[in-house]
Structure 1
């Protein structure tokens, strides 16, 4: 079973899935790019469904403007299956004095988000649990951590430990935000020490460092590779991401690849007045990828791989 915001669903009926998006997000690092409008975010979610993606991970963790009740309403209205994360992001998203920096109950907090339900509003005391359209609690189905560029700060180490403990206790998988795919093996080692093997972890943003050799090494130890940098042409052209993916497929690493958009900005969502929109992945990128590696490989990346990772263990 996979834990969505509308309840647990059979893995066989999940997907095609975009493994990394945000319907709501507010961070001091993204001033002016807040995702905080339920109607607009719902329109973007519908565009994803219309373009052929029927499932996604809402990757906004604790304290960054997440709105699980609204996500559940959007899921019901659009038919988009959504897995919501708990956990915490890298340190820079939480300014000095933020209550989460000093919280000493991270494991208990993240575990409760999975087992009892996500809070309706993030606060030091957690508060009431968010409920969906049917009055049922909206529970997290994945736990997230984040680290800096070649740095795992003391706060991030505490988060990783709590994330590992939560995943080991509840059976949910782990997503880790990496800066330019740095410290990937170090993160996997820390999680393994908490009882979380690499095959329960997706490393987000591996394509911010387009090194197919490094990616093959990470795939060989069992980690999932999160490709989500499409349409960021100032950083790398889509063609370079396609080249990397084609080399990984040719080398036999298709079962470790996940695809997402991580559009994540008001200025990049059409419903908020920006471009290219949440559906860039299915409309623009997937046709090119299919021509490169074939429908079977793309289907594995969109259906089998996310369903395997997101299934509760």
Structure 2
């Protein structure tokens, strides 16, 4: 049985249903709290649960919650409200990116950076492996994905150490891998290290690639075998929505439709419908973006409904499966 690891334990990947491949449900990032950036504080279980209700009401089944320890993860709260909403959640082991590490670790008198500096690559491997095999945040809730990240056109020594330790944890546990890219930069440099460590890129999903809508870069990432996460939907401040659709359809033309996944990466109160800001909410992609994509794909000569079945249902069954080698 190919299995995915959820906050409630392991399930057959065919039970994942319709999946958002990258989102955030409930989190209080220490850095943004210290800086008073309240828009990033998803701190209401009630509002977050109402968003999960929207997701489920729109036909959603599973969310990969990409919230790592340095981004204010609280898997106990997430599990509770997900179970109340009847939504399956895959949680994140590992780390996000170094910009978050200047913050003080809640309940401790050191920063994330100090903690990371004190760890060797092997310590990182052991820590992430424990999160996958034993539990996170003082619970027995296990991570279903291991994560690392890099900055905007940068990859510092700490991030590289984290990356190699996380890849070691993947080798030990078979957990699928997720990477953060800042505005879609550095994916090929990440892949260089993945290859250097002897890890099959088919176990990796690279996030935020639609924020750098460069067809050549997308094609090179896809040729590696990695999954591509298109998770910037609604963010017209970066690019109009048709740009993302054209990038997706280009990948389909090049034969990579089995590597594309869709998510919202909703991480601001103003993006939610239930945090009092009037945002579009977690139901938007399935309710509103889906029919738009089907129409635009049809105009380009594709079966948009069949493509979305792959992006939401079929491809996540491979991307979130545990496997070694």
Residue 281 of structure 1: aligned partner:
285
Residue 14 of structure 1: aligned partner:
16
Worse-superposed segment, 21-30 or 209-218: 21-30
User: How many positions carry a matched residue from both structures?
Assistant: 298
Residue 37 in 1 paired to residue 37 in 2?
no
SS at 1:18's partner residue?
strand
Find the aligned partners of 1:109 and 1:51 in 2 and give their Cα distance. 37
Cα contact 1:107–1:165 (8 A) shared by 2: yes
- TM-aligned CA deviation for residue 29 of structure 1: 4.3
- TM-aligned CA deviation for residue 168 of structure 1: 0.9
Cα contact 2:32–2:38 (8 A) shared by 1: no
Give the alignment of 1:69-80 within 5 angstroms: 69-80=76-87
The equivalent position to 1:48 in structure 2, one of 43, 48, 55, is 55
Find the aligned partners of 2:73 and 2:291 in 1 and give their Cα distance. 31
Considering fraction of residues, name the structure with more helix.
2
Cα contact 1:56–1:82 (8 A) shared by 2: yes
SS at 1:180's partner residue?
helix
TM-score normalised to structure 1 length: 0.91
- TM-aligned CA deviation for residue 26 of structure 1: 2.4
Indicate the RMSD between aligned Cα atoms, in angstroms. 1.4
Find the aligned partners of 2:196 and 2:86 in 1 and give their Cα distance. 38
Q: List, as ranges, runs of 4+ consecutive aligned residues in structure 1 with deviation greater than 3 Å.
A: none
Residue 68 of structure 2: aligned partner:
61
- TM-aligned CA deviation for residue 303 of structure 1: 0.8
Find the aligned partners of 2:193 and 2:217 in 1 and give their Cα distance. 19
Residue 5 in 1 paired to residue 23 in 2?
no
The equivalent position to 1:235 in structure 2, one of 232, 235, 238, is 238
Give the alignment of 1:1-313 within 5 angstroms: 1-27=3-29, 28-29=31-32, 31-33=37-39, 34-95=41-102, 98-99=111-112, 100-104=115-119, 105-119=123-137, 129-130=138-139, 137-274=140-277, 275-291=279-295, 292=297, 293=302, 294-313=304-323
| Structure 1 unaligned blocks of 5 or more | 120-128, 131-136
